[in-house]
Amino acid sequence: MLSIVRRYDIFHGLTPQSLRRMLEELGPTFVKAGQILSMRSEILPESFTRELSRLRTDVEPMDRETVLGALRAEYDRPLEEIFDAIDDRPLGSASVAQVHKARLITGELVALKIQRPRVQEIMAQDISIMRSLARFAARFMGDEHVIDLQSVVDELWQSFREETDFLVEARSLEEFRRNNVGCAFVDCPKPYPALCTRHLVVMDYVEGIPIDQGACLVREGYDLAEIGTKLVDNYTSQMLDDGFFHADPHPGNLVIRGGQIVYLDLGIMGRLSSRDRGALADMVVAVARGDSARLAEGLLRFSVSGFAEAQRAHLLSDLDAIVANFGLANLSDLDIGAFMNALISLAQKNGIELPGSVTMLARSLVTLEAVVDSMLPDTSIVDIIQGHLKAHAEPGKLVKGELAGLSRQTLEAAHSLLGATGEAQLAMRMLTRGQLRMNLDLAGTADPLEDLSRIANRLTMSVIVAGLFIGSSVVYYARIQPVILGVPVIGFVGYLVAFTLGIWVAWDIIRENRRRRRH
């Protein structure tokens, strides 16, 4: 591993292409890490995620004895009491698991997703190596590399732990089936919970036509446009109605069987809270209307960190540019992938921290758009999503939503008013106690106190000049001896000093006016 890392010279920075090639050489665990990261745009820049999406996990399949040994380790009874037959040839082989067709003793055809022996231990070792590499690389990579390697490794470990617990996938299959029980054209394999373990999923065997085999689907009498529309409509339900969506809807995970779209491999699923779903719906409407302000509000509702109000004007300016680029075209011409990537880049630029589920959804929509692109050449998935929102917007729900929004805004206004009242009370208490201090900032001047001091000095000098003239005049009329040129000496000196000071004040005013005009 060290020789591979040295060959790619990671200490002087990695390009997207060199990172992908290095992961392929490092082995299955690193390839799997790259595939997970390809869906996490909030961790890696878009150029890296796009390149890592090209990774494919092609590993040597387990032999029959290894498969049987892994199965025996999961049960406390002989396999012959559970399975009538197990196919030797795997349906698929990946870095984490291998899938085999089998038949239960009760006659049902099932698919067995069997975790490779010691895969968690191997991944833990590889993650430890990744952490060491990340620590060393962080010392040498320049500031222009925006990848936070330590956080990347931590995210990977969390994803590995979730993906290698197959009971999570079994529960996901059950939840997905419950959510879609009323949808006649969508299905997923039925799990057998009594036979599932942390390292094994037993589910219905599904045999159908891959969704990307358009010619075969047409020969079987399917309408591609209908399939594409139903697929996007159902995916919208997953996103906005259920908040539980398939995070990797690529063609290999979608087959058509008996008039149904069947989702496979529910190992990676995404979740959206009701708050996130509302924000997403608002953003879809904002895109359709070209409304930058509403788009900004939806984006900020996703943020998991604070956002300074002073940055809002800059954010709106950036969103105006995005709307100008994407909003002028018809929805049928909207490139959802480029649009979502632009939004994610904008969020990163403005310091808006998006949750992983949101960026995962963004990558899923990009994948889904590629799937339906040939089926719906003149339709954007945003158009279908908007149609879904309109079709499922019951009047009662609309009124309830508006009332909820009005209540929320009223509550925020009330909190602001109470806060302002509290601040005013505090200011009054400080004023009565002599504790109130004021910072004065006058437009057009760098230091208002300096200007006030200069004005006071001029007024003082003017008073002195006037006093000297008046005093000297009194002395003159008093005819106090001795005199110079018919003027008493004291009066003469007073006139001279007053005249000199008067000239100095006048010259200072003229000079200051000239300086201000130059600036």
Pair (189, 145) in one structural domain: no
Q: How many domains does the chain have?
A: 4
The structure tokens listed for 459 are: 């007024």
pTM of this structure: 0.65
Assign 335 a pLDDT band (cuts: 50, 70, 90). low
Among 365, 392, 419, which residue terminates a domain?
392
Instruction: Find the CATH number of the domain harbouring 185.
Output: 3.30.200.20
Residue 413: inside a domain, yes or no?
no
Pick from 39, 269, 307, 67: nearest CA to 176: 269
Among 374, 392, 410, which residue terminates a domain?
392
Pair (24, 74) in one structural domain: no
The listed range with the strongest mean pLDDT (7-16, 221-230, 405-414, 424-433) is 221-230
Q: Does the CA dihedral 456-459-463-469 come out positive or negative?
A: positive
The structure tokens listed for 317 are: 């300016």
Pair (53, 83) in one structural domain: no
Domain span at residue 460?
A: 454-517
Pair (221, 318) in one structural domain: yes
161-203 tens-digit pLDDT = 777 889 999 999 999 999 999 899 999 999 999 999 999 999 9
Pair (158, 174) in one structural domain: no
Assign 7 a pLDDT band (cuts: 50, 70, 90). confident
Pair (341, 242) in one structural domain: yes
271 bridge partner residues:
244
Residue 330: inside a domain, yes or no?
yes
Q: What residues contact residue 443 under an 8 Å CB cut-off, 6+ apart?
A: none
Pair (130, 95) in one structural domain: no
Alpha carbon distance 215, 60 (integer Å): 32
Residue 27: inside a domain, yes or no?
yes
Give the least confident one: 59-73, 109-123, 221-235, 503-517: 503-517
Give the least confident one: 45-54, 300-309, 315-324: 300-309
Pair (348, 495) in one structural domain: no
pLDDT at 398: 45
Residue 289: inside a domain, yes or no?
yes
Pair (129, 227) in one structural domain: no
pLDDT at 143: 46
Give the least confident one: 138-142, 366-370, 469-473: 138-142
Pair (229, 277) in one structural domain: yes
Q: What residues contact residue 445 under an 8 Å CB cut-off, 6+ apart?
A: 451
Pair (151, 239) in one structural domain: no
Count CA atoms closer than 13 A to 485's CA, side-chain side: 5
Residue 417: inside a domain, yes or no?
no
Residue 398: inside a domain, yes or no?
no
Assign 145 a pLDDT band (cuts: 50, 70, 90). very low
Pair (171, 151) in one structural domain: no
Residue 199: inside a domain, yes or no?
yes
Q: Which residue has the higher pLDDT, 224 or 323?
A: 224
